[in-house]
Chains A and B, each alone.
Chain A
């Protein structure tokens, strides 16, 4: 195959037009200019080829060479990914720092992963074995938390002609030779994969398990399933990033892929720093050991921002193929959509809504559909759950990115500005959010948490719904004139909002709450609801309940009762609630 060579003809910000060759392929990776900046072919016409450049184009000249590589932009998959931080096209930022200092300069040549490091490889395959794509032929302890399973590339299957002994190898070393398609193919530890192509699997499994996050409003009210997709939309300052960080820290996935897409540099520094200090409660190891970070900050080149999402999801799929549950956080998909808009604008394409290209919806669906709970080629089960933050312009959810995202996700955590202003965190609004996974997960909750978990959730939601309609009246005439029954509802709703939905991410216990405690908190709140309603029915003056301070005892449960050995204190609290009400009712 001929490698295409052309010359630069025009430069328009991140977009370069190339003449002189018609051999470029769509989505081929190319080197642009004397500095060999990395680019991708995004349009081919009879006369010219259009290339988007992943680095700053300042200083490029007309007539500089553009060289094809014969293949699409692909990333390296091998041990060394975890606890690392990459830019949008999988260049390790630590190595870039070593080369170019505090700033990211252009045309840097770094390998994706450390090719000189020797790993302890435990070879599983033996000569004569018949292997298929995806089969695990070796394992490597990548970090203290994660065993890396080296797999046969998906497109190779055949008989192993030769396999290496267990021992120390670099990622470029050949560890097996497979006879396939009438030739001997070398299998190295590392494999390459084009980022825009989803990695294959055997079949999709139905959704059945939740991604437990320890965040009450999510786990109890709007749960996300393993293999599901969720969106967190919210204006600035409503806590998108904070929520993403909380999920990355506490969710029960095996691997976290965190993509900072067009966001603040300090946030990535914070994740890097915080995650190496934070200790995973289960394994007592730093959380960074199960995390990979992709950072394309807002001032990095816009084309690489587009690529960062695909790079992240490809890494996620690779670990899914090993049989892990992977959670991918993308903060923020709106910046990615804006990157599409910016490139599209430079190409003078006909815009659809608000200047976004008409293919926005199809690109979003391609991304979110890479989430799923699957049976892998090697028979293991794994999942990719996607949690995408959306930054709607002006905080208005009717804008194109939010609306199009809603079509491809099934879990919607709407962040609300008034709640954030009142410092009610997480500011996920209970009336505008939804989860379509509730029915599919009901069975799991029933078996693993409490048989009546979903009924309790519905009861709490009903109280909040009722409160919202009562508030319409309260706004007009004040709460004092309401009948006692409705006042009781308002009080119960307050306890739910402040005691249950509000969660303090900076408190040692409250930052992560196990399902068992969430369940018991629901129990005491519902007991309170039942007894205060009883008061209203019996005509007891409700101010006596307020004076007793029992509501505050329930609200403070998140701080007063820890996350372990919770049975006795909760029983004691129930007794106290009953005693208090018995005394009030008399």
Chain B
């Protein structure tokens, strides 16, 4: 149906209001054509009687109440999908911007997705070796997991994400040719440099042909940013569940996404909750993160590594806070480690992987993995206690045991956490390294390890 509405009744930030509309439906897509011939797309976000409130993705600049024609497209936001998307670069709403033209669509899907029935889910328990000791040993990534990186401005989260993407691919034993592996990369409000860094890194490691990039850069329209991750996840679901691929989705930066949501919400005049974010921020983030997983009747998987920069390094800020409640753990980067020059600066105590317990141990990694991880966490937390005591009374005054902990902490940072950006450690190496470090502590301090494991692996006195 091709009724075009002339003009608009109201323009407010990224929103326009059109009156006298009878047939619009909720979340329908619209095309707004300017007198100049420029076309913009938008989405119905509210219907009140004959009034439709429309979000214009490319922004409302140059729009006036009289210079537009608006057409309702009769369908929700949909994305054409094809295996040919691999290797392509698309804009924030899924239009190719690499100059290679359109690809042939095999299927068209609503980008909003649908909730996965918990009964249809396969519980993830397949260990992904990232080659990074801190992650593999202490917050193991599992295929089908959503494990965000909590970072801050100026920290090397991008490098870490690239290293995970590169090394996770290499470690996949049953996929030697790499045919079943794909990366979906969604940039939301990131700088050009960052997007280029990812592209170059994918190129260097020879996986660019396996990557679909969705780019909404920092100078692209804000409203578009709300659609970008949805497009990316729709593509990921398609590749994973239709073509049985193992898809790693990198979403960066979730903070820009949430801020875009706040901007739109406030221009709609909605009642804000914490820090001005809308009350539905939790539900909205969940509608993205919950799209990770494995479903029965398909061999593929969607693993998410969202990156978010915590404003002011504050983990209690609504964005990391709500994210942490939805995702299955988090990799937290620590400013102090970064300043000390430790790469990757993973702060292990506030980091966690909820799914690791079912994907490690005998038959997955090694029988001692869980106990070793528990012990390293426990011992490292004692290092922190000893450090804070040392900062008051000085290191010399510490008891012998506390001094041992301080030494253990230093060795842990230097040998276990620190590794090269290309260094790819096997899980075996990582676990042995952990036991090597525990040798620095007396046996009586190792209260998290089962006696049998202790007897077999502990080599200290």
Contact = CB atoms under 8 A, between A and B. Distances in A.
A395 interface: yes
A85 B118 contact: yes
Contact of B117 (A103, A421, A546): A103
Interface string B280-310: 1011001101110101111000000000000
- With most chain A CB atoms within 10 A of its CB, the pick from B290, B330, B350, B358 is B290
B25 A478 contact: no
Contact of A61 (B24, B118, B120, B382): B24
A572 interface: no
A265 B144 CA distance: 12
B103 interface: no
Contacts of B350: 237, 421
Given A104-B114, A475-B392, 14 more contacts: A10-B47, A59-B28, A61-B24, A62-B47, A101-B120, A102-B295, A102-B298, A269-B123, A298-B286, A299-B290, A342-B279, A345-B273, A355-B273, A423-B378
Given A236-B324, A236-B325, A423-B381, A556 B451 contact: yes
Interface residues on A, range: 35 or more
Given A61-B23, A297-B290, A394-B316, A268 B118 contact: yes
- With most chain B CB atoms within 10 A of its CB, the pick from A85, A266, A299 is A266
Given A57-B26, A295-B118, A478-B389, A345 B328 contact: no
Nearest to A498: B447
Contact of A355 (B26, B274, B291): B274
Contacts of B349: 421-422
Interface stretch (A92-100, A130-138, A282-290, A527-535): A92-100
Given A60-B26, A355-B273, A262 B282 contact: yes
Contact of B271 (A103, A269, A345): A345
B124 A266 contact: yes
Contacts of A394: 316-318, 321
Interface in A198-235: 235
- Prevailing SS type, chain A contact patch: mixed
A339 to B, nearest CB: 8
B122 interface: yes
A556 B28 CA distance: 63
B104 to A, nearest CB: 25
A12 interface: yes
B283 A302 contact: yes
B119 interface: yes
Contacts of B450: 507, 559
A354 interface: yes
Given A93-B119, A423-B374, A506-B370, A391 B283 contact: no
A105 B112 CA distance: 12
Contacts of A341: 273, 279
13 contacts: A10-B48, A62-B50, A93-B117, A103-B114, A104-B117, A236-B330, A237-B350, A266-B355, A299-B291, A341-B279, A345-B278, A423-B381, A477-B393
A237 B324 contact: yes
Interface in B100-116: 110, 112-116
B399 interface: yes
A297 B115 contact: yes
A391 B325 contact: yes
Interface in B129-144: 144
B434 to A, nearest CB: 14
B393 A299 contact: no
A162 interface: no
A483 interface: no
B460 interface: no
